[in-house]
């Protein structure tokens, strides 16, 4: 009743899709075979009680054979116990297969997604990805265990029951089937209405959950408290919750209508069987026990027959889930290790940009439900052009320029967060496209303007850069970043949980912790992307001293840094509109009276940072 036929309109059962789905299920083929055997056995076993009840009446009661009545009754009990055992075995097998399949699909999806390039995440909603890892994976699992088992069970139940009924009395069998359209047609209409209600309820639930997700995050909660009105917030949420409530009531009523209709038709069919069958009993052409058996069997055919009328929708709905899972797995990793990629061994940190051109892929308007254009999308307007830059190992290069000039994009090409559209970026003479990503990124440390911290302890966040780091290593790195005293004063020291995105720490403390994390990584190349933007004057003095020590012997690219660091750089390059327009030392650039001089003059007039 909850499946969506509209969602599978135009879909056909693709054999290649079925084979691919089976490739995930094939490791469990032994358990799936056992599961189907159990399902068939349970369906056949359920025929035993009705048949034996008839024999108890006709052969035991009529003949006053107490022994036969006792024996048959014991067999009924044994059959019931066996049926219960088969039910438990069926549930165990289905759960082992289902949960195993969910695990395998989720791991495959997670592995693929976390290896996708940054551009994938800028085009894709997080909620959509999470839905694929949850809802669609569960839907795919149902295709193997739930839907498959249900279809097989229903076919066996209907076929075995109809054969048994026809063998007992074919006229009553036809009478029972005549009533089926009286139930199936209204039930399908009720089902369609309930499906529409279910879709609407899911949409309203999603909208309600979206409100909670946005408001319950630290940033959202802070915004609400500073700018929002609690009464208005509650009113808007109440409206959404009311719609969910009303749809839930209507869905429940339609669901009960379906159950009542099933019960009503089953009761009418049973009454007709007793009426017509009773006449046959009176005329002597049918035994009483046989009539009882037949009446019990009638109640077994309506629900599975109705379920089989929507079997195609059930199967296709389940396979649509597989399609949606495979849609993610088939997305190309446009940034991947090339065949023959080698490790960067003992990196020195020399970086070279040669004729580099870069353009972001355009926003996808019709690139699939995830909105990711992938590798086939054409390039948009270049944001970097004709970049030639040689950064010697162990030197510091400052990158400055107006906001949006391409400074961060330029630095992002070094750890290969993006690939160039043309030209090459090399480290120690190796084109970064020919290096393994793991070895390249282990040689690069990045501190961003807004560093991300996981909702975990301080120690865990630090060890994310170096899982093998000892406690002494953590303390050393944090002392160098001038953050150890702050951590030591926390309630649980290094075992203190920093909160979502590190909100238990101030902006400056997060920055220094991120710098300590980078120092713990001990990279050959350090990229500082406005890394001291949140520091006050006192902290700036401390952190500058720490950076002067930490950057010794390392290659460093410093983006829009504070004046003192910019002035001490070995070379300053000025980027404007995606091109390097000036380069030189601080004194040389000031003497040129160009863009850098204008930025420097702005700073001298009271700006805190060189570039806003």
pLDDT tens digits along 402-434? 888 889 899 999 999 888 989 999 999 999 999
Q: pLDDT value at position 13? A: 57
Higher pLDDT among residues 251 and 513, named by residue: 513
Residue 42 has pLDDT above 50, yes or no: yes
Task: Determine the average pLDDT of the residues in 374-383.
Answer: 62
pLDDT tens digits along 304-327? 876 776 666 667 666 777 777 888
**What 3-state class would DSSP assign to 583?**
strand
Average pLDDT score, the chain: 80
Place 1 in a pLDDT band, splitting at 50, 70 and 90.
Answer: very low
Q: Identify which of 305, 283, 278, 309 has the alpha carbon closest to the alpha carbon of residue 294.
A: 278
pLDDT tens digits along 599-611? 777 766 544 444 4
Task: Determine the average pLDDT of the residues in 552-564.
Answer: 76
In order of 83, 331, 360, the CA distances from 374 in angstroms are 52, 7, 12
Residue 3 has pLDDT above 50, yes or no: no
Q: What is the model's pTM? A: 0.71
Q: pLDDT value at position 130? A: 74
Residue 378 has pLDDT above 60, yes or no: no
Task: Domain 351-604: give its CATH architecture.
Answer: 3-Layer(aba) Sandwich (3.40)
Q: pLDDT value at position 9? A: 44
Q: Residue ranges of the domains in the chain?
A: 351-604
Residue 79 has pLDDT above 50, yes or no: yes
* Residues with Cβ within 8 Å of residue 242, at least 6 apart in sequence: none
Residue 301 backbone phi and psi in degrees, to 5: -100, -20
pLDDT tens digits along 507-551? 778 888 888 898 888 899 999 887 666 556 666 666 676 677 677
Count of beta carbons in the 10 Å neighbourhood of residue 342: 12
Least confident of 218-222, 349-353, 399-403, 579-583: 218-222
Higher pLDDT among residues 4 and 576, named by residue: 576
Residue 377 has pLDDT above 70, yes or no: no
Pair 400, 575: CB distance under 8 Å: yes
Residues in the chain: 612
């Amino acid at each position: 009743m909850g499946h969506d036929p509209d969602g599978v309109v135009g879909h056909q059962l693709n054999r290649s899709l079925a084979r691919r789905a089976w490739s995930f299920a094939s490791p469990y083929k032994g358990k799936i075979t056992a599961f189907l055997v159990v399902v068939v056995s349970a369906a056949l076993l359920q025929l035993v009680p009705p048949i034996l009840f008839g024999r108890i009446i006709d052969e035991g009661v009529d003949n006053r054979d107490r022994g036969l009545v006792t024996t048959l009754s014991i067999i009924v009990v044994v059959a019931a116990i066996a049926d219960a055992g088969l039910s438990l075995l069926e549930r165990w097998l289905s759960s082992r297969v289902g949960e195993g399949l969910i695990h395998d699909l989720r791991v495959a999806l997670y592995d693929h997604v976390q290896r996708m390039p940054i551009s994938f995440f800028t085009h894709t909603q997080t909620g959509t990805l999470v839905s694929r890892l949850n809802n669609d994976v569960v839907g795919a699992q149902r295709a193997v265990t739930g839907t498959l088992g249900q279809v097989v069970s229903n076919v066996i139940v209907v076929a075995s029951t109809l054969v048994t009924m026809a063998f007992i009395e074919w006229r009553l069998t036809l009478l029972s089937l005549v009533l089926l359209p009286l139930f199936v047609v209204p039930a399908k209409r009720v089902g369609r209405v309930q499906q529409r209600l279910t879709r609407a309820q899911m949409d309203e639930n999603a909208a309600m959950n979206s409100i909670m997700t946005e408001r319950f995050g630290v940033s959202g909660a802070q915004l609400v408290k500073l700018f929002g009105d609690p009464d208005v917030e509650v009113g808007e949420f109440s409206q959404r919750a009311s719609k969910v409530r009303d749809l839930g009531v209507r869905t429940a009523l339609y669901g009960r209508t379906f159950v009542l209709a099933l019960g009503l038709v089953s009761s009418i069919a049973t009454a007709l069987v007793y009426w017509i069958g009773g006449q046959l009993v009176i005329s002597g052409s049918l035994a009483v026990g046989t009539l009882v058996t037949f009446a019990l069997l009638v109640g077994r055919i309506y629900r599975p027959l109705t379920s089989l009328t929507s079997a195609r929708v059930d199967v296709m709905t389940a396979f649509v889930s597989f399609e949606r899972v495979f849609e993610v797995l088939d997305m190309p990793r446009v940034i991947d290790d090339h065949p023959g990629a080698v490790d960067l061994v003992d990196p020195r940190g020399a970086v070279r940009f040669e004729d580099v051109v870069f353009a972001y892929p355009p926003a996808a308007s019709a690139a699939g439900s995830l909105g990711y254009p992938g590798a086939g999308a054409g390039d948009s307007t270049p944001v970097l052009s004709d970049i030639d830059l040689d950064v010697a190992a162990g030197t510091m290069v400052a990158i400055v320029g107006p906001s949006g000039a391409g400074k961060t994009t330029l630095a992002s090409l070094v750890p290969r967060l993006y690939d160039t559209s043309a030209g090459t970026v090399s480290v120690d003479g190796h084109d970064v496209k020919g290096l393994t990503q793991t070895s390249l990124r282990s040689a690069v440390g990045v501190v961003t303007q807004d560093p991300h911290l996981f909702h975990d302890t301080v120690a865990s966040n630090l060890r994310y850069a170096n899982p093998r780091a000892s406690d002494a290593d953590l303390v050393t790195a944090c002392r160098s970043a001038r953050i150890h005293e702050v951590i030591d004063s926390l309630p649980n020291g290094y075992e203190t949980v920093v909160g979502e995105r590190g909100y238990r720490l101030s902006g400056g403390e997060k920055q220094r912790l991120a710098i300590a994390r980078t120092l713990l990584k001990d990279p050959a190349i350090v990229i500082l992307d406005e890394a001291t933007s949140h520091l006050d004057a006192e902290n700036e003095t401390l952190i500058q001293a720490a950076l002067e020590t930490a950057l010794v012997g390392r290659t460093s690219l410093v983006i829009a840094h504070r004046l003192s660091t910019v002035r001490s750089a070995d070379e300053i390059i000025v980027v404007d509109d995606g091109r390097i327009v000036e380069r030189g030392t601080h004194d040389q650039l000031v003497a040129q009276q160009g863009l850098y001089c204008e930025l420097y003059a702005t700073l001298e007039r009271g700006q805190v940072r060189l570039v806003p």
